[in-house]
Every structure is written in structure tokens, then in C-alpha cells.
Amino acid sequence: MPKPAKSETAHRVRVIASQIYRYALFLNLCQRNMADDLADKLPSSLENHHPAVTDPALVGEVLRKIETYRGDTVTNAALKLSALTMLRPGELRHLVGKTSITPIGNSN
């Protein structure tokens, strides 16, 4: 059984090979997508859980550190927005267009 890192690489290679075969099918260079045969042969990817601060005392400490952060202005704003919304960056990014949130500098 492949190790998790090798398993992830195997899945990515299968996806790329499948894209190549789909293009070859479009051009009538092959009869079928042979990469699809590997889909159920590769071990399933392990789900990665992202750590979260759940202890109220630690949440307060994190908020105080965010408030006193003196780094880049954009990073400071992102940290504060993250603390206010309790969303991860990807979740927040996908909200744009689904709610009234619009990107900064977008006058539409």
C-alpha cells in the first residue's frame, strides 16, 4: 500500500493521464480512457483535518495577538476578518458572489 504522500501523487498523475486520454479521445487517437481503470485501484486519499482553537482561554489569547500584530497591513486585515467571520480563507473566498460581500476595489 502506498504511503499517503505517494498516494496523493498517484492520484494527481491519474488525473493528468485522464486529461491526456480525454484529449486523445477527442482527436480520435485512442478508443478509451485507460486512466479511468486506475480510479478504483488507487487507495482512497486520507482526509486531512485542520487544527482549530476551541478552548475559550486560547481563543482570547489568539484574538489579543491578532490585535497587537504589527506586520503587513493586508495580513493584519485578513487576520481580523478571519477572527470576525470564523471562516477559513478558502471558505471566505468562496462567499464572494454568493452574498453581498464584494472584493475591495471592485466598484460593480
Who wins on pLDDT, 90 or 99?
90
C-alpha cell at 3: 504511503
Who wins on pLDDT, 79 or 104?
79
Q: How far apart are CA 23 and CA 17, in angstroms?
A: 10
Residue 96 reports pLDDT greater than 80: no
Residue labelled with grid coordinates 478571519: 82
Residue labelled with grid coordinates 504589527: 70
Residue 1 reports pLDDT greater than 50: no
Contact 16, 8 (CB under 8 A): no
pTM here? 0.42
Percent of the chain at pLDDT exceeding 70: 79
Contact residues for 43 (Cβ-Cβ < 8 A; gap 6+): 1, 2, 7
Who wins on pLDDT, 70 or 93?
70
In the chain, how long is the greatest CA-to-CA distance?
63
- Range in 6-20, 24-38, 43-57 with the lowest mean pLDDT: 43-57
Secondary structure of residue 79 in the 3-state scheme: helix
Mean pLDDT of the 76-88 span: 84
Instruction: Please state the separation of Cα 36 from the chain's center in Å.
Output: 24
